[in-house]
Amino acid sequence: MNATRRMSQLLLCLVAGFLSWNIAACAQSEPTVPSPNGQANTPPPVTITLPDALQRAQKNSPEFRAALTELGIAREDKVQGRAALLPSVNFDSSVIYTEGNGTRTNSPAYIANNAVHEYISQGDIHQSVSLSMFADYRKTAAAEAFAKARAEIAARGLVVTVVQSYYGLVVAQRKYGTEQLASQEAKRFLDISQKLEKGGEVAHSDVIKARIQYEQQERDLSESRLEMEKSRLELAVLLFSDFSENYNVVDDLQMPVPLPQYSEVQTMAAQKNPELRAAVEALQVAKHEVTSAWGDLLPSGNIDYFHGIDASHFATRQFDPAFGQTVNNLGTSIVASVSIPVWNWGAGISRLKQADLRRDQARVELSFAQRQALSKLRAFYGEAETARAQLDSLNQSAELAADSLRLTTMRYQAGEATVLEVVDAQNTFTQARNAYGDGQSRYRVSIATLQTLTGTF
């Protein structure tokens, strides 16, 4: 059946050629046989762009997801801190059975209880007031801002990682293509030298040198293939949760990102640097910890408002034989209390000293972060500026190396160049093309690194 189908395809292609159809559409290979579940055995590769890679990596990166988790936890801590400042409402219902004392009134034997049968069913609105509560809430708000800055740092760091791996694969593919061209050129030059040797125009040493060059290019080709496969595996770990290698990446290195002026970069870094924001919020957290520690040394208050039943019968109304009438069991009670710390063996003072130490450390770290931000900004911008300035020179060198190889080979065929000149031109061609790809990748990575301080521009 397969042979018959293949023969039918060939006949259709011949007919299409006579009718001036697009024979390229007919010269395709036999379609993939579907699997029993209706899907193809080998699905087509997924085409991945850099934005696609970033989106996939955000879903699969454990470090980035951990930062988001910390942000979510900090947000919930803030919700709990705000709830602690607001009144809480509870409903309590209980029954107390007490032994009577055997008198005519059958009073309870325990003086702490109000009646032999006591039913309590009431709501309680509770409010606590202390300096520590307000400080703790502000600390949770600062901690949320700190976690948000840390999540932004993780997101920008992930961009650098993905850009390095993505363009590492792009450059590895380019280098593999360059080594293929170099291997073909070395094979062609070996054939030329062998023909010239047969004609008595060159010595056998030229053939030996060409053979050595060809073998070296074959080894370089296998090494470049290995590097390309390693780069593909490294990127696949970042992009796919099921570790798929069936994908292609888009080579967009020919479209360099513009580099803003340094003054613009300074402004963006001052406004959007997450590392500085994280250091500032860490200092705020430490300051609120000091305030909270002071709150433990100051008085605190509690207010409770009760409404419900606290009677000898579980009913809103009951007959009181002492008064000879029905009385209302529903009532209201307000309890206010003040707690004044007096002595706790120095634990409160110790906590205050700890908070002061953390605050001083946070100030030092903020100052260091500010100095480090200025240093990183200049270094990262200098790296990007240098990489951008070298692109044109690297491109020109690659074009000149290609022309030099072509001309040197022609001169060798004409007997005007030596075999060493041809080998040198071949090596220069390979190095120049690889250097151009490395330069393009270096510029993209330097831009991503600079944007960790400035944000996207």
Q: What is the mean pLDDT of residues 66-75?
A: 96
Asked if residue 217 belongs to a domain, the reply is: yes
Asked if residue 270 belongs to a domain, the reply is: yes
> Is the pLDDT reported for residue 379 higher than 60?
yes
Q: Which of 99, 257, 74, 87 is nearest to 163 (CA)?
A: 257
pLDDT tens digit sequence for 96-153: 888 887 777 677 877 777 888 889 999 999 999 999 999 999 999 999 999 999 999 9
Asked if residue 313 belongs to a domain, the reply is: no
What percent of the chain is predicted at pLDDT more than 70? 90
Q: Which two tokens mark 332? A: 């209201």
pLDDT tens digit sequence for 285-335: 999 999 999 999 999 999 999 999 988 888 888 887 767 788 888 999 999
The band of 35, judged by pLDDT with boundaries at 50, 70 and 90, is very low
What pLDDT shows up at residue 116? 84
> Is the pLDDT reported for residue 418 higher than 90?
yes
Asked if residue 134 belongs to a domain, the reply is: no
pLDDT tens digit sequence for 158-169: 999 999 999 999
Q: Where residue 395 sits, what CATH number does that domain have? A: 1.20.1600.10
Asked if residue 164 belongs to a domain, the reply is: yes
Inter-residue contact 226 to 171 (CB < 8 Å): no
* Number of structural domains in the chain: 1
> Which residue has 């040394």 as its token pair?
297
What pLDDT shows up at residue 433? 96
Asked if residue 353 belongs to a domain, the reply is: yes
Expressed as residue numbers, the domain containing 189 is 141-240+253-298+348-454
What is the residue-wise DSSP string for 102-140? Answer: SSTT--BSSTTSSSSEEEEEEEEEEEEE-HHHHHHHHHH
Asked if residue 277 belongs to a domain, the reply is: yes
Asked if residue 190 belongs to a domain, the reply is: yes
Average pLDDT of the chain?
88
> Which residues, other chains included, contact 384 with Cβ-Cβ below 8 Å and sequence gap of 6+?
259, 443, 446, 447, 449, 450
E strands along 252-380, which residues?
300-311, 317-320, 325-328, 330-339
What percent of the chain is predicted at pLDDT more than 90? 77
Adjacent-strand bridge partners of 197:
none
